[in-house]
Amino acid sequence: MSKYVLRRVLHAIPALLGVTVIIFVSLRIMPGDPVSVMFGTQATKIRPEDRAKIEADLGLSAPLTVQYFKWLKDISTGNLGKSFWRGDTVLDLIVQRGPLTVEIAVMAIILSWVVGIPVGILSALRQNSGLDYIARFFTVLFLAIPGFWLGSLIVLVLLLWWDYASPLGIINLWNNPIKNLQVVSGPAVVLGLAVSAYIARMTRSSLLEIIREDYIRTARAKGLQEQAVVLKHALRNAALPIITLTGVLFGFLLSGTVVVEQAFNVPGLGKAMIEAFVTLDYAVIQNLVLLYSIVFIVINLIIDVSYAWLDPRIRYL
């Protein structure tokens, strides 16, 4: 197992280097530049020597290859640079805003399992029944509804009907749990309902394959209760694709909170990402995208290792 994990970590290094190249090149070929964004309509009036000094202060005057390798060096030392606009370091930004984004993603995943797995089980066990058709209708509905639209609708309904608005600002769970839940519950519910639709459909399709297997019929013929057959035998074997999908969705949730955080005005990493793209804050964009890439790789590694625990037939050499 340790050799397998080490091999996967070594394979991840070229992937991360490729991600850094894509991020760096994509930002530099985008139209506009940070100096023009800073000064807006007055950018054309800046003297060339003043523009050169500002670019030098921001670290943008050096050749692109020098900028790229300097970024790699900063990453290796943990120095992620400073935001062009706020002046605080990117590491401080991640420490301050990261917990809110992670909390939203974790709550959304928990909600998706609480809602999606029972719905998928009932839909599979009552295939082509009225309950199955209702479950499939709502799963397709929540798959189709854009998260940003649903989040904006919830904010407007709460504000216009009940005159309620969630607290503003960065409120961590360990500082004020009640206000923190008021901040993150809305985005978590919107994302959780969308993800629960994927989980429900995957649970249904996986169980429909498993419950037709011979060992399931044997378990029923031995007189086991239906609950034991479904939960102990069928669901455990159907859990592998569900966990795989959950890991992928969790990675997307961390990056998918961008639009939902904007809709609910939650100061998480997603909102920081939007602000950075608007202002072309290269340091923030580069490091946040790289952080999301690392999270994806780590989550997929955890999923692969968990297979051996769920299915004894799987062994890693």
Report pLDDT digits (tens) over 248-266.
788 777 765 677 777 777 7
Query: Measuring CA to CA, which residue among 148, 153, 174 is closest to residue 256?
Result: 148
The values of phi and psi at residue 255, to 5°, are: -90, -25
Task: Tell me which DSSP letter residue 71 carries.
Answer: H
Cα-to-chain-centroid distance, residue 106 = 9
Amino acid at site 181: L
**Cα end-to-end span (Å), the chain:** 6
3-class SS at 89?
Answer: strand
Find the radius of gyration of the CA atoms of the chain: 24
Give the residue extent of every domain in the chain. Answer: 2-77, 90-310
Residues 6+ apart with CB under 8 A from 20: 68, 71, 72, 75, 286, 290
Helix runs in the chain, H state only = 2-29, 34-39, 48-58, 64-77, 90-125, 130-144, 147-162, 177-210, 214-221, 226-228, 235-264, 269-279, 282-310
Positive or negative: CA dihedral 243, 249, 255, 260: negative
The values of phi and psi at residue 82, to 5°, are: -115, 150
pLDDT level of residue 37 (50, 70, 90 thresholds): low
Task: Tell me which DSSP letter residue 127 carries.
Answer: T
3-class SS at 46?
Answer: coil
- Cα dist from 71 to 30, 173, 270, 295, 308, whole Å: 18, 33, 22, 19, 38
Residue 314: per-residue pLDDT: 61
Residues 6+ apart with CB under 8 A from 113: 196, 199, 246
pLDDT, tens only, 196-226: 888 888 888 888 777 777 676 676 676 667 6
Residue 192: per-residue pLDDT: 83
Please identify, in words, the CATH class of the domain defined by 90-310: mainly alpha
Q: Report which listed range, 105-114, 156-165, 171-180, is most confident.
A: 105-114
Polymer length in residues for the chain: 317
Beta-carbon-side half-sphere exposure of residue 114 (alpha carbons within 13 Å): 9
Task: Tell me which DSSP letter residue 313 carries.
Answer: T
3-class SS at 265?
Answer: coil
* pTM: predicted TM-score of the whole model, two decimal places: 0.74
